[in-house]
């Protein structure tokens, strides 16, 4: 069990999938968690389960593409728990999947607004707090799509590539603020996103068998480990779920 006793974390996209599993993993490790997502009903149900199991958790409505909403989620975290130690930027969308030449400009832009501007909003909301307290951990959920083009995913690939560079900029600008920055590529995970990819029938990822995907609890456990000093040698890097060394260090194998 990774020790995060006394830490406070915000996880975006915590209504389901990796975000929901990460909230559980961090709570099980001793952290107080703020589950942030657009849909409050499911997010509150997730927080209630954590509390039922003896953990500390609250749910907040947060559309990360809106800076005021992200800022409000951070303010609620500080109001409730008095500090912020960990930020996991997990929220993202894969829809709409389809060819660039026939893409809908409005939908394409909305996806980038969530995947890229949402990542900026998260960083912009938490960095001043972590800078002032001279401590904190920021984990950005990246993707192989940040580094390799995928048919039908132009909005996702472009936004994830930009988000990876955004984290690099944060690392550069806050090198002396004792903030831990890590990127994480969880690989393909059995979530709603994979269901949408499967249904599209576009590119090789859609042809994968469901049994080929990681369960959400695997990347969640890896993220919990990344929040501990045991991962300090990897600060500033983007780690990959498929790396057996990471799996071993996270206690998964």
CB 26 within 8 A of CB 224: yes
pLDDT score of 50:
98
Say yes or no to pLDDT of 82 above 60: yes
| Residue 58 domain-assigned (yes or no) | yes
CB 14 within 8 A of CB 43: yes
| Residue 43 domain-assigned (yes or no) | yes
pLDDT (tens digit per residue) in 10-48: 999 999 999 999 999 999 999 999 999 999 999 999 999
| Residue 21 domain-assigned (yes or no) | yes
Q: What is the CATH number of the domain that holds 234?
A: 3.40.50.720
| Residue 253 domain-assigned (yes or no) | no
pLDDT score of 188:
86
CA neighbor of 9 nearest in space, from 60, 85, 121: 85
| Residue 169 domain-assigned (yes or no) | yes
Q: Which domain holds residue 122?
A: 8-246
Number of folded domains that form the chain: 1
**Torsional sign, CA 171, 117, 188, 87:** positive
pLDDT (tens digit per residue) in 98-155: 999 999 999 999 999 999 999 999 999 999 999 999 999 999 999 999 999 999 999 9
Whole-number average pLDDT of the chain: 95
Higher pLDDT, residue 245 or 194: 245
Q: How far apart are CA 111 and CA 193, in angstroms?
A: 13
Say yes or no to pLDDT of 1 above 60: no
| Residue 251 domain-assigned (yes or no) | no
Task: Give the catalytic positions in this structure.
Answer: 156
For residue 144, with 0-12 CB atoms within 10 Å meaning exposed, 13-18 middle and 19 or more buried, which class applies? middle
| Residue 31 domain-assigned (yes or no) | yes
| Residue 12 domain-assigned (yes or no) | yes
């Amino acid at each position: 069990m990774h020790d995060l006793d006394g830490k406070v974390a915000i996880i975006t996209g915590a209504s389901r999938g990796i975000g929901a599993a990460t909230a559980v993993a961090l709570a099980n490790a001793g952290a107080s968690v703020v589950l942030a997502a657009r849909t409050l009903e499911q997010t509150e149900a997730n927080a209630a389960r954590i509390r039922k199991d003896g953990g500390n958790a609250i749910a907040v409505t947060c559309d990360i593409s809106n800076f005021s909403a992200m800022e409000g989620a951070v303010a609620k975290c500080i109001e409730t728990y008095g500090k912020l130690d960990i930020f996991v930027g997990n929220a993202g969308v894969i829809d709409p999947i389809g060819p660039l030449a026939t893409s809908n400009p409005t939908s394409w832009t909305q996806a980038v607004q969530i995947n890229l501007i949402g990542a900026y909003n998260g960083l912009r909301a938490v960095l001043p707090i972590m800078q002032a307290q001279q401590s904190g951990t920021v984990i950005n959920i990246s993707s192989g799509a940040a580094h390799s083009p995928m048919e039908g995913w132009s909005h996702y690939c472009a936004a994830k590539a930009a988000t990876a560079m955004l984290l690099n900029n944060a690392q550069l600008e806050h090198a002396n603020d004792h903030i831990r920055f890590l990127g994480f590529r969880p690989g393909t995970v059995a979530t709603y996103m994979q269901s949408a990819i499967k249904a599209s029938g576009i590119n090789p990822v859609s042809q994968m068998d469901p049994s080929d995907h990681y369960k959400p609890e695997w990347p969640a456990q890896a993220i919990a480990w990344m929040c501990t000093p045991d991962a300090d040698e990897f600060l500033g890097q983007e780690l990959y779920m498929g790396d057996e060394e990471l799996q071993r260090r996270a206690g998964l194998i």
